[in-house]
Structure 1
Amino acid sequence: MEKEPKNPGSPEAEGDAPAPSGAAPACAGASEGTGLLREVKQEVKAQVFHNTGYLRLDWFTLFWLFVAGCVIGLAVETVFHAIVYGGLESRAGLVWGPFSPIYGVGAVVLTLFLNCFYHSHNLVIFLVAMVVGSVLEYVTSWGMEFFWGAVAWNYSGTFGSINGRTNFAFGMMWGLLGLVWVRVALPAVKQAFSHVNAQNAAVRAVTVLMTAFLAADIAVTVLALDREGQRAQGVPATTWEQRFLDEHFPDSFLQARMQNMSVYGKG
């Protein structure tokens, strides 16, 4: 009888000895593991670099998300403090208007990071939000203390505290907030913006005016806090800017406006 031709890729065709028992399953397992890692890598790459996300992001959308975050975040924090600790307390973050910029920045940052994870598992969204929010809280606390010697919160002595700037409990809260933001807020935002024409003249005018107002509000707040830190260190007013800030934004005004913040000055 004529022998069957050997398969081109078989060990016999290559002239190799048959593989030892158990080698094939090991190779198969390694191959499967490599394939899984490759799939995960491709999925992450697709989500982060090629996924346009659930919400279309532009300056108009991000700006009004910032404004909404500032206002809603301040309202929620005020109510939370009243329920947990009792009594109303002004916890605004700017000298004018009902704004707390950390929540506005949080809304924008969470949207930028989580927008492409809208179709991901809830656990993934929770963990990403937990990390992003904790980093934001830490950096904000560090920046306030570095630039103005200001302390608005201190979690020292609590579980999972990192230099008193963030902790495990608030990391969990950031995770939950991110999950609510993706599953509840983003669909509502998308629905709301679908009814707004960003190119409308009136809408554009309001956006420009609000942008100018908030830019001035933030700039004056930075100067006022810097001058408050100088006063805390006994630096006298020698320029017209310092005298203006002392007159219009004295310690009594700032302490009544930002009751959760203490300013000690740089150094």
Structure 2
Amino acid sequence: MEKESKNPGSLEAEGDSSAPSGAASARPGDAEGYDLLREVKQEVKAQVFHNAGYLRLDFFTLFWLFLGGSVFGLVVETAFHAIVYGGLESRAGLVWGPFSPIYGVGAVALTLFLNRFYHSHNLVIFLVAMVVGSALEYVTSWGMEFFWGAIAWDYTGTFGSINGRTNFAFGMMWGLLGLVWVRVILPFVKQVFSHVNAKNALVRAVTAVMTVLLAIDVVVTVLALDREGQRAVGIPATTWEQRFFDEHFPDSFLQSRMQNMSVYGKK
């Protein structure tokens, strides 16, 4: 049985002559549009202001994600190169240790951008990760060429290439990686971190020591690559810093360490 109207005298009652012409056809669409905008607004507000995210993000969490991502990424890339191209190649990105920092930065970036989307549709996660990963790859490639005249990859001529710095295929890979990151890796990370007391004195000491060592590794790598770029364009060593890097980090060492990178120097 049809439910009776709560307000029989309402102007919205069928056949009411006081309703403006065309209002009956215009209002439902307007209401639907308003409801959609309101839902979008509420979702954005919830994401930005009220969503604590899947992981609690602090320096401890982000640092170990960076470290773990750097090691795991290096292992995966080395295995990928061996399977696809054959043979082992050093894919390290720092002068010391089994680290590829682009994957560490990728781990942190994916976590920062996707931590609030763990409940979202897989397509949303995929698209966000695809954009974030592609942007990271583009900026990294541009930065290496701008600061050191170095090229580690060039996708020129491939489908969806953007200035040779990223392309559609690797964007898809970043999207897939984002899905795996949110659905598989983050739950594992959360479980592991649940057994670690970040406020423990020993844990804090280890984190502090590793932070200092990694910072030194990054700084020395940047300076060594800068000097390699200088040597590539024929700049002689005139300071003790230049002589130090010429002696301890010559081209032979850096080219053997970072076999996927070619340094031509800044033009």
TM-score grouping bracket, smaller chain normalisation: over 0.9
CA distance in 1: counterparts of 2:38 and 2:12, whole angstroms: 28
CA offsets 1:126-160 (integer angstroms, 9 cap, x no match): 01101111111111111111111111001000010
1:40 to partner: Cα distance:
1.4
Distance 2:23 2:11 in 1: 15
What does 1:1-267 align with in structure 2 at a 5 Å threshold?
A: 7=9, 10=11, 17-20=18-21, 22-267=22-267
Look up the SS of the partner of 2:166 in the other structure.
Answer: coil
Structure 1 Cα separation of the partners of residues 122 and 105 of structure 2: 22
Give 3-state SS (helix, strand or coil) of 1:92's partner.
Answer: coil
Deviation at 1:48, TM superposition (A): 3.0
Taking the aligned partners of 1:25 and 1:19, their CA distance within structure 2 comes to: 10
SS in 1 for 2:70: helix
TM-score in terms of structure 1 length:
0.93
Q: After superposition, what is the alpha-carbon deviation per residue over 1:199-248, rounded to whole angstroms, capped at 9, x for unaligned? A: 11211111111000000000000000000000000000000000000000
Change in 2 beyond 3 A, CA 1:29/1:229: same
Distance in structure 2 (CA, Å) of the matches to 1:171 and 1:41: 29
CA contact 2:11–2:18 (8 Å) conserved in 1: no
Structure 2: how far apart are the matches of 1:50 and 1:171?
30
Structure 2's unaligned 5+ residue stretches are 1-7
Distance 1:254 1:240, change over 3 A: same
Q: CA deviation at 1:37?
A: 1.7
Distance 2:48 2:132 in 1: 15
Q: Is the 8 A contact 1:229 1:264 kept in 2?
A: yes
The root-mean-square deviation of aligned C-alpha atoms, in Å, is: 1.8
In the comparison of the two structures, how many residue pairs are matched?
Answer: 259
Contact 1:229/1:266 (8 A) holds in 2: yes
Work out the CA distance in 1 between the residues paired with 2:88 and 2:149. Answer: 25
Alpha-carbon offset, residue 25 of structure 1: 2.5
Q: Report how far residue 11 of structure 1 moved.
A: 8.3
Shift of residue 42 of structure 1? 1.3
- Alignment partners' CA distance in 2, 1:93 and 1:50: 37
Aligned structure 1 segments of 4 or more residues deviating by more than 4 angstroms = none
How far apart, CA to CA, are the structure 2 residues paired with 1:173 and 1:27?
45
How far apart are residue 26 of structure 1 and its match?
2.2
| 2: CA distance, partners of 1:164 / 1:156 | 4
Residue in structure 2 matched with residue 3 of structure 1 by the alignment:
none
Q: Say if 1:11 and 1:17, in contact at 8 Å, map to a contact too.
A: no
Distance in 2 (CA, whole Å) between partners of 1:266 and 1:220 is 19
Shift of 1:50: 2.0
1:21-53 Cα shifts (integer Å, max 9, x gaps): x53122211211121122012112212332000
Partner AA of 1:151 in structure 2: I
Distance 1:49 1:258 in 2: 42
Aligned AA for 2:20? A
